[in-house]
Structure 1
Amino acid sequence: MRSRYWAVVARGMAMGAADVVPGVSGGTIAFITGIYRELLDSLSSIGPQTLTLLYRRGIAAAWQSINGGFLLALFSGILLSIFSLATLISYLLASYPIVVWSFFFGLILASTVPILRQIPRRSPSVFVCLALGGLLAVAVSEMRPAQIPATPLTLFLSGALAISAMILPGISGAFILLMIGVYPRVLAAVHELQLFNLFCFASGAAAGLMLFSRLLSWLMHRYVSRTLAFLAGVLLGSLKIVWPWKLPAGEVAAGGDKVAPLMSNTLPTTYASATGEQTYLVPALAAAVAASALVLVVDYLGEKYRSVHP
């Protein structure tokens, strides 16, 4: 059992590393590593009944009912990764952005293979859900930075929206906050310790996490084929967000005096001619292939383990 929790810590560290990269969701890593459904079920089990169980039967019963060991191991890994790997990943993203984005491109692309294989039944509605998931991710990628006032209500709703996006594979919560113009305000609240604003945002995140995890958990149990197809579509559509070669297509104010560049995808040859910079094509392809191989090997070992320990 202890060895399992160490494995969950490692998955949490991978999720934390992904969350550091803007545009990549930790939910994607949870899906790839096979803990997504358990994460949703564990989160959805937390509610008023937990307090009732705590009062009537004690800490041990309440802890077991919410799968506390799993959640503690996972979130410990996430926090450990954010605090220990954030500097390294930020450096790699600033120094070798094309290679890093290529790695995540291969990671996400290959992760759709085991997800699609898990779909138990094919039907027209399944293909419709696959298309809808792809369209949602593409629509998110086409969002342009806006600016909304930082009121208690908007901060609450922004927290709920961001955390819902964060647990949805393929969509980054930080990316959503940036697009609606709240990201700079949240960072300012953290740096300046604006406790009331942080409370409003955190309350919204907690409410969104509890509600959206319940919805996704219910869908995964009741409509597994359509839900898996929709999530696979979201992952495929999110490839547009993580495409490595991009060119600026204008600028839009994203809040305060900050200006966010609008980026458009382009071919490596066009990127090289427009910027005069290297395309890093060979390292990028190597990173994408390595990431794809990593996902497929993890999936193969997971299938082999499940066949031996059903």
Structure 2
Amino acid sequence: MAKLAGPHLFNMLRGSLIGAAEAVPGISGGTVALITGVYEKLIGGAGHLTSAARMAAADLPRGKGGARAAAEARKVDWGVVLPLLVGMAVALVLAAKLIAPLVEEHPQYSYAVFFGLVLASLWVPYSSSGRPWRPIDYLIGLVVAAGGFLLTGLPPSQVPTHPLIVAAAGAVAICALVLPGVSGSFLLLTLGLYEPTIEAVNQRDFGYLSAFALGCLVGLALFVKLLKWLLEHHHHMTLVVMTGLMAGSLRALWPWQDDDRTLLAPSGAVGLTAVLAAVGALVVVVVLVVEIRAQRRRANPPAGRGRHARVPAAPEARTEYARDTSVR
């Protein structure tokens, strides 16, 4: 039981980091999912769930039952995905009360930590693309980074909290959640819906939250299948684009900027700000070291003795594992 609980608790911790990131404008939950090594598990699981929902919607009205949908849903690695979702949900609620106010009160120091975190995490998609980068890859990455830089420089606006607009914002925000380098919270802040959304979470405004959740479901269904296909068929180029997006998004986390997102020169406690950025980068290094060691343990579990000795995996199982981890 303890051996089973260990991985579940670790995955809940991973999910809590992703959920906490989504509450902070400028940092993407997808970035944290990449760092913690669960990004493709989440995308694959979301793809299977959207397929299952589509099958159920097609079969049940015709009286065919939900056998196809159930079979598709069983393809999700629930042992990983469910603890992740639980951790994300709990952390998102707590972060709305704890982390978001901290960022508002101490933006320079808070953004310094996140700037270091995202800067160090650029190594993850860069090194996981599956093959060495060519000059054209660097050029594409720079172009995408420039686009991300311009996007994160858009000044905040204000849109009405009409249910249709809230649903549309939810669809956009969920796409940002699954796309590293693009912050759903930052896009909500640009639309002027960040504070209303945080307030709805804190006040349990289920009308607002229902419209937002509906938009998230629609956006997820439309976007995640495309992203899953891109990762399966154009893995290298997809990670090149993700690296560029993450690099461009650093603009949103620059510790010195005004309310209109105009970048300013470093000033005021520059040393402390730099130290906090280094702390953020160190957190990424520690997480990556832990994840690499966990992958090695999974790939080479310790041999047992006697009747409990480890049985070598079947060739097809080894192939499946290689396919699952080759992109990390």
TM class by smaller structure = 0.7 to 0.9
With structure 2 as the length reference, what TM-score do the two structures score? 0.76
Post-superposition offset of 1:17? 1.6
- The aligned residue for residue 256 of structure 1 is none
Contact 1:130 1:232 (8 Å CA) reproduced = yes
Establish whether residue 157 from structure 1 lines up as the match of residue 168 from structure 2. yes
- Structure 1 CA distance, aligned partners of 2:68 and 2:159? 44
Q: Deviations over 1:146-197 (max 9, x none)?
A: 23344443333222111111221122212112212334554566648372x5
Distance of aligned partners of 1:300 and 1:143 in 2 relative to their CA distance in 1, 3 Å threshold: same
Q: Deviations over 1:210-248 (max 9, x none)?
A: 2211111110001001000100111111111112233x2
- Structure 2 CA distance, aligned partners of 1:292 and 1:69? 24
- The aligned residue for residue 307 of structure 2 is none
Q: What pairs with 1:1-310 in structure 2 (closer than 5 Å)?
A: 2-46=5-49, 47-50=53-56, 52=59, 55-57=65-67, 61=71, 63-90=73-100, 92-94=102-104, 96-121=106-131, 122-186=133-197, 191=203, 193=205, 195=207, 197-246=208-257, 248=258, 261-268=259-266, 271-272=267-268, 280-281=272-273, 283-302=275-294, 304-305=296-297, 307-308=299-300
Contact 1:8 1:74 (8 Å CA) reproduced = yes
Post-superposition offset of 1:70? 2.9
Contact 1:99 1:287 (8 Å CA) reproduced = no
**Pairs aligned (count):** 290
Q: Deviations over 1:86-124 (max 9, x none)?
A: 544346435654333222222211211132112223345
Identity over the aligned pairs, expressed in percent?
31
- Structure 1 CA distance, aligned partners of 2:191 and 2:250? 21
Give structure 1 stretches of 5+ with no counterpart.
249-260
Contact 1:146 1:181 (8 Å CA) reproduced = yes
- Structure 1 CA distance, aligned partners of 2:104 and 2:161? 30
What's the RMSD between the two structures over aligned residues?
Answer: 3.1
Distance of aligned partners of 1:33 and 1:200 in 2 relative to their CA distance in 1, 3 Å threshold: same
Letter in 1 for 2:180: P
Contact 1:150 1:182 (8 Å CA) reproduced = yes
Q: List structure 1 runs of 4+ shifted beyond 6 angstroms.
A: none
Distance of aligned partners of 1:116 and 1:200 in 2 relative to their CA distance in 1, 3 Å threshold: same
Post-superposition offset of 1:16? 1.4
- Structure 2 CA distance, aligned partners of 1:215 and 1:77? 26
Distance of aligned partners of 1:173 and 1:231 in 2 relative to their CA distance in 1, 3 Å threshold: same
Local SS of the residue matching 1:146:
coil
- Structure 2 CA distance, aligned partners of 1:91 and 1:155? 22
Distance of aligned partners of 1:188 and 1:21 in 2 relative to their CA distance in 1, 3 Å threshold: closer
- Structure 2 CA distance, aligned partners of 1:202 and 1:37? 22
- The aligned residue for residue 325 of structure 2 is none
Q: Deviations over 1:44-93 (max 9, x none)?
A: 11222256599344997565233334332111001222334554434643
- Structure 1 CA distance, aligned partners of 2:230 and 2:69? 30
Contact 1:109 1:236 (8 Å CA) reproduced = yes
Kindly indicate which of the two structures has a greater share of residues assigned to strand: 1
- Structure 2 CA distance, aligned partners of 1:289 and 1:82? 22
With structure 1 as the length reference, what TM-score do the two structures score? 0.80
